[in-house]
Amino acid sequence: MDKYSSFQHMSESEKEGVDYRLSWRIGSSGIAILCIHGGRIEPGTSQIADGIAGSDHTFYALEGLKESGNRTLHITSTVFDEPTALQIVRESEIILSVHGCAEVEEVVYLGGLDLMLRGRIQRLLSEAGFSVLDNAAPGLCGLEQGNLCNLSERSMGVQLEISRGLRSRLFADLTPEGRKQPTEAFYRFIQAVRDALEPLKRPSEEWTESVGYETSP
């Protein structure tokens, strides 16, 4: 069970810039890539989300910075209420939320309400040599309407749950230094997901930075 019931609850006890950090950049595609359990909470997910986002998709992350005990920073997707994240998802057409699960088997579980995009991601990741299950385990399905990945303009999105075993394969290892050394499999994984998103990009002239966004730290 999570220690905190919301971001507001967490921010009353944990210090931004010391225990956790928020970062984001606004892209031109209408697609947002989220990582709300990044840094040392679910190691490797920040780098994966950042790689998928590239320079064209919006990127958002909450990352754990503690030397230990980062699991306490985990806020489940159905109650995650950090204001910038909520603004980003509500103003985006496509949401892809990247998470990590504990399995040692090398597998990706797909969840979320956007069945079309789930199918595209499953096919392209499978063709790239990854094991993908389009039927996430209980608790990893992301099917609740209130899940952050489903709060887009279209009221549906996709959640990737990437096993620890697979995340270990995408980097030299999952230590802070090891995560700075992506492997060939990392780039193959990133490209497959980006290829799945490519046909869904909004023409850049239709997407500009909203006045309400402040610059990311």
Q: Exposed/middle/buried for 105, CB within 10 Å: 0-12, 13-18, 19+?
A: exposed
Specify the pTM. Answer: 0.92
pLDDT of residue 209 exceeding 50, the answer is: no
Question: Which tens digit of pLDDT belongs to each residue from 45-90?
Answer: 999 999 999 999 999 999 999 999 999 999 999 999 999 999 999 9
| HSE-up (13 A, CA, CB side) for residue 150 | 17
How many whole angstroms separate alpha carbon 178 and alpha carbon 180? 5
CA dist., res. 164 & res. 145, Å (int): 27
CATH of 7-198, one of 2.60.120.10, 3.40.630.100, 3.40.50.2000, 3.40.50.300: 3.40.630.100
User: Residue 215 pLDDT > 80, yes or no?
Assistant: no
CB atoms within 10 A of CB 134: 15
Q: How far apart are CA 155 and CA 157, in angstroms?
A: 7
pLDDT value, residue 216: 52
The domain segmentation of the chain, as residue ranges, is: 7-198
